Amino acid sequence: MRDITVKLGKRSYPIKIGNGILVEAGAHISRLNLGSNGIIITNPRIKRLYGAILKKSLAKKGIGAHILTVPDSESSKSYKVFSGLINKIAKLDKGRKPFIVAFGGGVIGDLAGFVAAAYRRGVSLVQIPTTLVAQVDSSIGGKVAIDLPVAKNLVGAFYQPRIVISDISLLKTLPEREIKCGLSEIIKYSIINSRAFFDFLSRNIASLKRLEKRNLKHVVRKCCLIKSKVVSADEKDVKGVRAALNYGHTIGHAIEAASGYIGTYNHGEAIAIGMIAAAIISNKMGMLSKKELTEIKNIIARTKLPTRAKGFKSPKILAALCHDKKFTHGINRFVLPVRIGRIRVVENVPKKLVAEVIREIAA
Ligand code: NAD
Ligand code: GLY
């Protein structure tokens, strides 16, 4: 399968997608001449499942690699864990500039990416995503960050990797809940970008849940293509193009925050509810038809993702919404679908309407 390129001039990089390509990681990385001092950042579960394969592949090309593990939780995207990592890396450095391999899901990718961005004012970064969310979204585009108690991803950087290596065979050990979370992001891409893709997903959601390889590869590739184009057009998220990727994230992030990041809903689940909320807002503002709103609700329900924030009190979600960094100077900003495959970024959605829709989804 041909590589996808994230086009960013001299900082362009390839995304390699394939089945069983982890064993080739060493060969791909050695071609980049990143040195022989690799630091793999991962968690104990991924280390146990796939750490030896990656180490062996690197060793074959003469690249030594230390594996550093962090707890398997969103709470690892913290200053404490970040500072622990950079102190360990400083001890392993011994004057040989290391490169970082982020080997895991979005938590590892965001954390290890931020470590790579900060250590020695930036060392090379390789992303080897192991969840569906990470393969279709978080490993691409250079948004790296840690969380603060007040909000997610509040401290971070734009720091692009040198290469992304996505081995879809790693997904076979992923819990079903995490597969569904990846599907949530995949559905997001279709709603913001392509009616045809949305229809493909509607027809194939069951086979994708079973990780049927041909469809899975097609879908991962399609999402990477969409994201790479968006990132190439608006790397720093300042032109309103990249904002499209935040569809479902405004209320989704607020639900995540309200559930304490490690609570009831994880990222993909919260985004699923957020996508429905944004579609309802769009419908109530006269921009999205009832029929397409129903289609959006249906595909999310058929994926067995949550469609409502059950057990949440709407004031808690509203309070979390006000801390969102997508809100500047108190002006809210929503990505609203105007039809499936097309979105509009709308500022200043009436607060009354936002509150009404939050009450509706938090029923
Ligand atoms: P995650 O990183 O927490 O991984 C989910 C779970 O799957 C973890 O328990 C992990 O150990 C396990 N796991 C990972 N790979 C596995 C495998 N191959 N087999 C078995 N188990 C495996 O969750 P995620 O959904 O990948 O990432 C969520 C994070 O990503 C959030 O912090 C979110 O903010 C961030 N994110 C960032 C971006 C971005 O652009 N930077 C985009 C989307 C999400
Ligand atoms: N996941 C949102 C972005 O990369 O911009």
Here the CATH number for the domain that contains residue 8 is 3.40.50.1970
pLDDT, average across residues 267-281:
96
Which of the residue ranges 120-124, 313-317, 327-331 has the most confident prediction, judged by mean pLDDT? 120-124
Tokens representing 156 are: 């971070």
Closest CA to 105 of 75, 139, 147, 155: 139
- For ligand 2, say whether the CB of 249 is within 6 Å of any of its atoms: no
Position 325 pLDDT exceeds 70: no
Question: Residues 309, 201, 168, 32: is their CA dihedral positive or negative?
Answer: negative
User: Are residues 309 and 202 part of one domain?
Assistant: yes
Instruction: Look at residue 331 in the predicted model and tell me its pLDDT.
Output: 81
| Of the residues 150, 173, 196, the one at which a domain ends | 173
Give yes or no for residue 185 CB within 6 A of ligand 2.
no
Same domain, 110 and 198: no
Does the Cβ of 138 fall within 6 Å of ligand 1?
Answer: yes
Q: Is residue 143 in contact with ligand 2, taking CB distance under 6 Å?
A: yes
Query: Are residue 238 and residue 168 in the same domain, yes or no?
Result: no
Residues 110 and 238 in one domain: no
Tell me which residue of 253, 256, 232, 252 sits closest to 242, measured CA to CA. 232
The answer on 158 and 217 residing in a single domain is: no
Question: Which amino acid makes up residue 233?
Answer: A
Distance CA 123, CA 38 (A): 11
Q: With a 6 A CB cut-off, is 167 part of the ligand 1 pocket?
A: no
For residue 238, CA distances in Å to 190, 231, 235, 241, 242 come to 22, 11, 8, 8, 8
Ligand 1 contacts CB of residue 110 (under 6 A): yes
Tell me, in angstroms, the distance from the centre of ligand 2 to residue 107's CA.
14
**Tokens of residue 200, six digits:** 């493909």
92-144, pLDDT tens digit by residue? 999 899 999 999 999 999 999 999 999 999 999 999 999 999 999 999 999 99
Q: How confident is the model at residue 149 (pLDDT cuts 50, 70, 90)?
A: confident
Distance 139 CA to ligand 1 centre (A): 10
SS3 call for 127: strand
Spatial CA neighbour of 275 closest among 337, 230, 222: 337
Angle at 323 between CA 84 and CA 75, to 5 degrees: 25
Residues 184 and 196 in one domain: yes
Residue-averaged pLDDT of the chain: 94
189 with 150, same domain?
Answer: no
Judge if 42 and 143 occupy the same domain. yes
CATH number at residue 247: 1.20.1090.10
Among candidate residues 173, 191, 210, the one where a domain is terminated: 173
pLDDT confidence of 264, banded at 50, 70, 90?
Answer: confident
Q: What is the mean pLDDT of residues 313-339?
A: 81
Count of structural domains, the chain: 2
Q: Residues 21, 94: one domain?
A: yes
Residues contacting 9, CB < 8 A, separation 6+? none
Query: What is the per-residue pLDDT for 319?
Result: 83
pLDDT in tens, 38-50: 999 999 999 999 9
Q: 10 Å Cβ neighbour count for 2?
A: 8
Last residue of a domain, one of 173, 205, 233: 173
Distance spanning both ends of the chain, measured CA to CA: 46
Are both 147 and 212 inside the same structural domain?
no
| The residue count for the chain | 363
Name the pTM for this structure: 0.95
* Chain centroid to CA 103: 14
Residue-range definition of the domain harbouring residue 49: 4-173
112 with 240, same domain? no
pLDDT at residue 263, rounded to an integer: 66
The whole-number pLDDT of residue 262 equals 59
Q: Say if residue 164's pLDDT is above 80.
A: yes
Counting from 1 in the atom list of ligand 2, the atom nearest the Cα of 141 is: 4
Q: Do 232 and 112 reside in the same domain of the chain?
A: no
Atom of ligand 1 nearest to the CA of 73: 3
Q: How far is the CA of 349 from the centre of ligand 1 (A)?
A: 31
